[in-house]
Amino acid sequence: MTDPQAIQPSALDQLPDRDPEETAEWQASLDAVAKAAGPHRAAYLMRRTLERAEGNGIALPKLLETDYVNTIPTAAEPSAPGDEEMERRIAAWNRWNAAAMVTRGSKHGVGGHIATFASAAWLYETGFNHFFKGKEADGSGDQLYIQGHASPGIYARAFLDGRLTEQHLDNFRQEAGGEGLPSYPHPRRLPWLWEFPTVSMGLGPLSAIYQARFNRYLTNRGIKDVSASHVWAFLGDGEMDEPESTAALALASREGLDNLTFVINCNLQRLDGPVRANFKIVQELEAQFRGAGWNVVKSLWGSAWDELFQLDTTGALVRRLREVPDAQVQTYQTRGAAYIREDFFGKDPALVELAKLLSDDKILECFHLSRGGHEARKVFAAYKAAVEFKGAPTVILAQTVKGHTLGEGFASKNANHQMKKLSVDEFKAMRDLLELPISDSQFVDGVVPYGHPGADSPEVRYLQERRAALGGPAPARRTHALAPLPAPADKAFASFDKGSGAQNIATTMAFVRLVKDLVRDKETGKRWVPIVPDEARTFGMESLFPSLGIYSPKGQTYEPVDRDQLMYYKEAKNGQILNEGITEAGSMADFIAASTAYSTHGEAMIPFYIFYSMFGWQRTADQMWQLGDQLGRGFLVGATAGRTTLTGEGLQHADGHSPVIAATNPAALSYDPAFAYEIATIVKDGLRRMYGEAAPGEDQNVFYYLTVYNEPMPQPAKPSAPGVDEGILKGLYRFNTAESAGVEVAAANAPRIQLLGSGTAIHWVLKAQRLLAEEWGVASDVWSATSWTELRRDALEADAALLRGEERQPYVRRALQGAEGPVLAVSDYMRQVPDQIAQWVEQDWSSLGADGFGLSDTREAARRHFGVDAQSIVVAALAQLARRGEVKATAVKEARERYGL
């Protein structure tokens, strides 16, 4: 990893040196030790010296921190190209229109945020003018993760650029009419502009890291060279409190992701007040990122501070800046020069003398206005250092003032995040400050006007020329006209139609076998992205290690302990498997990057992420929403699913509710297949829909959730009856009848019941079918419910069609039409899962499920505990028939006693 100090001047160069000769002697001594005794001895002595200094109470920055000054000294700042005055005017128009948009929208009560973009404007403008590559640039251009609350400023720039109209701006946060703008970055709502949804705070930083990592994966695997693409993540200092924000910092440095830059807008405020009222968030973040191995660039002070640092011949100013807590810095922003003289400078005699050399105006300029994040030259220097740094990712800590240029009523006020509008007088003051040619007469009836210099103005031409030079508009999401991927050979799917014969196979293993065949496909095999959170052996995937390889940017620099074994642990630079370690959040971030590569990079990738079902939706459901928001495609596989199938694992591992959570996500197609051939049918159709020839009206921007089980069971052959494939995909089909199952029922007109089972529950239902016939003279038909959720969605669509005056019958009603007797539905999940369809079933309805907490025991004991085993199903069926008068009530009591219930 490259040392940051090797490519940029030291921040220490800015500090006063009262005795350069003495300093040189200390440095010479250190050099001599390193030469005579080696670098390790020199490092040891330095550590001991620092320990002694700390023990003696000598104030020194911590080892992971530098002083509270800019990393790049003013003398080392590169000259920014371009027309600085022109860029200032462009930024002024964008500041104005962002504030105007939110203020005008506030009359409709839709809210909005002004202060965030006001603080970060130059962080974006500098990037748009000089750094952010568009989609026509090399590779795929850059990927921009925009801070959600700054969206008005991005819309304002798109308006200046001609990509949005006044009508669009007036429909900010008003989308129902079709011409509105979503409140925050949202690809599903504005798919030509936004690539990445970022307002579920913390997920943006995590996703940005894995996006940068996936870019390297695509390049190293030879799918597409995107080495010229850079990932920029714009974050808030308050956002960094989210655990996800810093969860993958070590991954980024470990893999040397120098194609990644975090820009943290350190305006020292979160939503309610200071981020670190009694501390310093910049120093905390610096230590955190340096400790994780990142290159850190601090851009804290503007050029007005240069004079102060030159006057500081004793170092007192730097010491004072280091000790003042953030909340007090915010207070200085709102107080006059006299207060600052007394409270800041008055604490040290040397500073008192320094302050005598400063006018009140100079003090106010420094403490009210001059921040590193507010000056194009300072920001340019930081960005240039970031993109030129090699060997590690860079974080830029840019200090700003929240509400900058919005007036004294906004700047650094604790409540400014909730302040939605400026008064007319405040707008006029802002106009004068920004030097915008907007007259008082343009404020009609108290409505603030939008400002635009004209489509052919120098400002707009400059903006568009800069974007053209950088590869086109940004941000932008590309919709590629990709050719459908060829369907894999049918042999891979058809092999499951025959069943497993006498062999018992868990559906988890059936899915893995299917994937093994699909990744061998000559046309599409390389596009599969297997993702697993350190559980590959649990799911029987270790045989993929030597054939596909586990991705590592370093390849394999060691001899694996199991190298002499057939299924040895193989890492490779072009490895296909992403084995993330124990991080479901990281695995989901991987999945999101892979699932949207069709848009981000114009390359269709087929991710499947297999995980303990209990640790998927429950743990990372917010990321599943992010996946849907970002229009991702792929297969999520909840393995070892169900509440009773994991023998002995207990409550924390017993998933009885993931289909309930999945049902809440409109982009998720949730299936609970019972048999191997159902899995093959669903995956085959999923590949067609997401990556092949989608049917008219089908949304390709969906993802699949399949629950699969670890209990080895007989896998039957696929029924040959017509409509089976349709039923599997729509969610329900008749697996057998009492007659086709060969179950003998004595009476010719025996009572009949319809048994619906999903997933592993189908096996208990089939056993109950035999018991009902052999011991109670009841005939039953068994139905496989592959998706309760898809049945419900179809029924809801039918209801909506009826309201429009269209005649449409829900599929579940059509499928069960004419089926004799009541319906009993059984699931290894809480009853809420099958009960989703109850209101559309015309027959009498009842259900069984595993409600409550899980427990550790055998499968049989767990099923008896929850009342979902075959015997419990029999009792429930008899009770349902008894209520209808079709069996004697005494049969229910007799059955309970016989089965010990």
The confidence score (pLDDT) of residue 299 equals 98
Peptide bond connecting 475 to the previous residue in cis, omega within 30 degrees of 0: yes
SS3 helix, strand, coil % of the chain, rounded to 5? 45, 10, 45
- Residue 638 CA: distances (Å) to CA of 38, 379, 555, 620, 762: 54, 45, 29, 12, 18
Which of 265-269, 855-859, 888-892 has the weakest average pLDDT? 855-859
Q: What is the pLDDT of residue 462?
A: 98
Q: Do residues 657 and 625 make contact, with C-beta atoms less than 8 angstroms apart?
A: no
Task: Note the pLDDT of residue 413.
Answer: 62
The tokens describing 745, both together, are: 């029922």
Indicate left, alpha or beta for 79 from its phi (over 0: left) and psi (-120 to 50: alpha): beta
Helix (H) / strand (E) element for 145: namely strand 143-145
In sequence order, the β-bridge partners of residue 706 are: 637, 671
Q: Amino acid identity, residue 168?
A: H
User: Residue for token digits 């993929």?
Assistant: 544
- Enter the tokens of residue 572: 């490779």
Phi and psi at residue 704, in whole multiples of 5°? -105, 140
pLDDT at site 416: 58
Closest by alpha carbon to 587, among 636, 524, 641? 636
The CA-CA-CA angle for residues 614, 241, 535, to 5°, reads 25
Q: Which pLDDT score, from 0 to 100, does residue 357 have?
A: 96
Quote the pLDDT of residue 51.
73
**pLDDT given at position 1:** 39
User: Given this model, what pLDDT does residue 341 score?
Assistant: 97
Contact 761, 829 (CB under 8 A): no
pLDDT for position 446: 87
How far, in Å, CA of 770 to CA of 763, rounded?
11
Which uninterrupted H or E stretch holds 311? helix 306-311
> Does 747 score more than 80 pLDDT?
no
Strand partners, 846: 824
Smallest CA-to-CA distance from 42 within 51, 32, 57 is with 32
Q: Which residue shows structure tokens 């026509």?
A: 136
pLDDT given at position 4: 40
**pLDDT confidence bin for 178, thresholds 50/70/90:** confident
How many other CB atoms are found less than 10 A from the CB of residue 665? 19
Nearest to 329 by CA among 274, 286, 285, 379: 274
Please answer whether residues 277 and 325 qualify as being in contact, where contact means their C-beta atoms are separated by less than 8 angstroms: yes
Q: N- to C-terminal Cα distance for the chain? A: 66
Tell the burial category of 259 from Cβ atoms under 10 Å away from its Cβ (0-12, 13-18, 19+).
buried
Q: What are the tens digits of pLDDT across the range 179-221?
A: 889 999 999 999 999 999 999 999 999 999 999 999 999 999 9
Mean pLDDT for 652-674 is: 95
pLDDT recorded at residue 267: 94
| Pair 604, 482: CB distance under 8 Å | yes
Average pLDDT over residues 621-640: 96
User: DSSP letter at 449?
Assistant: P
Q: What is the pLDDT of residue 746?
A: 67
CB-based contacts of 667: which residues, under 8 Å, 6+ apart? Answer: 627, 628, 631, 632, 701, 702, 703
Q: Tell me phi and psi for residue 313, to 5 degrees.
A: -85, -10
Tell me what the mean pLDDT of segment 467-478 comes to: 96
Residue identified by tokens 């029922």 is: 745
Per-residue pLDDT of 791-833, as tens digits, reads 999 999 999 999 999 989 999 999 999 999 999 999 999 999 9
Contact of 282 with 371, CB cutoff 8 Å: no
Tokens standing for residue 417: 């995040």
- Res 109: pLDDT: 86
Report the residue count for the chain: 901
What are the CA-CA distances from residue 348 to residues 19, 54, 59, 364, 575 (Å)? 21, 22, 15, 19, 60
Q: What is the pLDDT at residue 41?
A: 84
Mean per-residue pLDDT over the chain, rounded: 93
pLDDT-based confidence at residue 15 (cuts at 50, 70, 90): confident
Q: Is the pLDDT of residue 5 over 50?
A: no
Q: Is the pLDDT of residue 61 over 80?
A: no
pTM: 0.93
Structure tokens at 618: 């429950």
| Neighbour count for residue 75 (Cβ, 10 Å) | 9
SS3 431: helix
- Whole-number percent of the chain with pLDDT over 90: 81
Closest CA to 124 of 158, 79, 100: 158
How distant, in Å, are the alpha carbons of 314, 580, 640 from that of 708? 69, 21, 6
- CA dist 127 → 76, 123, 131, 232, 663 (Å): 20, 7, 5, 9, 40
- Transcribe 257-296 into DSSP letters: -TTEEEEEEE-SB-SSSBSSTTS-HHHHHHHHHHHTT-EE
In the 3-class helix/strand/coil scheme, how is 15-83 assigned residue by residue? CCCCCHHHHHHHHHHHHHHHHHHCHHHHHHHHHHHHHHHHHCCCCCCCCCCCCCCCCCCHHHCCCCCCC
